[in-house]
Amino acid sequence: MNGAVKRAFKYRCYPSPEQADQLNRTFGCVRKVYNLALDARTRAWTVERQRITYGQSSAWLTEWKRTQELAFLNEVSSVPLQQALRHLQAAFVAFWDKRSNYPRFKSKRRSRASAEYTRSAFRWRDGQLTLAKMEAPLHIAWSRPLPEGAQPSTVTVSRDAAGRWFVSLLVEDPTVKALPSVDTAVGADVGITSLVTLSTGEKITNPRHERADRRKLAHAQRELSRKAKDSRNRAKARLKVARIHARIADRRRDLLHKLSTRLVRENQTVVIEDLSVRTMLRNRRLARAISDAAWSQLRSMIEYKAIWYGRTVIVIDRWYPSSKTCSTCGRINAALTLDVRAWSCPGCGSVHDRDVNAARNILAAGLAER
């Protein structure tokens, strides 16, 4: 890994009423520009089979600002609007490379409310952040220090569904360095009862955060359904539901960060399966539990932290029969069903815990690929 790692540090912030109003207008303009550009690019492709570049969409933005209908775009900083066009361009590139689906329009209620500012659109001085079009710095709750001498290159301000405000500062972090090499390697099998089972035999219990708050969430959702549409009481009830969801997500993310950091720090090599979580979510009986486990999020954390700390992540084929293969003799037990949690190998007589056996096979398969 060459050079310092760029890392985002996220904090709660508490904008004044005037700042909140300015930010909310900026969020709306970002969403409007993104949707206008997506619509125009879609029509250009549908009618003329023309691929629009970022430069062309940027020229459109200049023209839109000159119209009476869209003159309100001039009331906010132009940088977040340009960044929205860059994000749309990245979404199209991912679509053309067959890495994602076609870009979708941003929704006022369902999409993330955020605005991204580059260096020309904010002032960073003496640990205080002032955004373009604002006179006073944002009030930020510094829950942890930034790296010494850090200078943010990008600032992203966002508001979640629970009404909480956040600011994310992208800085170079010289403290993130490759860890000393170790001789250990581990295979990890994800599941629902046990969130992760390791090839060492250790099982990390799945706390099932969503299930723990399910009764409270169901009550809040019933209350929301009874409120009159567009009423103040409905807005309050919607906020209550959002806060419960935020609590669940926060606890889940905290656990996954701690687990992924531990696995990467303790092992030189981590071997995992390439699971198709999207396909697995089609199982109606298990979809809720699978979503709560957040396997994809755990994999993402392990992969980027491995890059940070000089570790190796090996991903084995999703079709490898890790659960049905005897980790002792290699015989495949094709008759093994999902409800069987422990089994004896017909070939060598070894007794296996299903998950531990799978984790050991995952490790062996990963090391064989090196």
- Residues with catalytic roles: 189, 273, 355
- Separation between Cα atoms, residue 151 and residue 363, nearest integer Å: 41
How far are the Cα atoms of 7, 21, 25, 70, 330 from residue 28, in angstroms, in the given order? Answer: 27, 11, 5, 12, 58
Please provide the size of the chain in residues.
370
Longest dimension (CA), the chain: 80
HEC string for the chain? CCCCEEEEEEEEECCCHHHHHHHHHHHHHHHHHHHHHHHHHHHHHHHHCCCCCHHHHHHHHHHHHHCCCCHHHHHCCHHHHHHHHHHHHHHHHHHHCCCCCCCCCCCCCCCCEEEEEEHHHEEEECCEEEECCCCCCCCEECCCCCCCCCCCCEEEEEECCCCCEEEEEEEEECCCCCCCCCCCEEEEEECCCEEEEECCCCEEECCCHHHHCHHHHHHHHHHHHHCCCCCHHHHHHHHHHHHHHHHHHHHHHHHHHHHHHHHHHHCCEEEEECCCHHHHCCCCCCHHHHHHHCHHHHHHHHHHHHHHHCCEEEEECCCCCCCCECCCCCCECCCCCCCCCEEECCCCCCEEEHHHHHHHHHHHHHHHHC
- Separation between Cα atoms, residue 135 and residue 29, nearest integer Å: 20
Tell me how many degrees the CA angle 29-55-30 measures, rounded to the nearest 5: 10
Tell me how many degrees the CA angle 363-369-259 measures, rounded to the nearest 5: 35
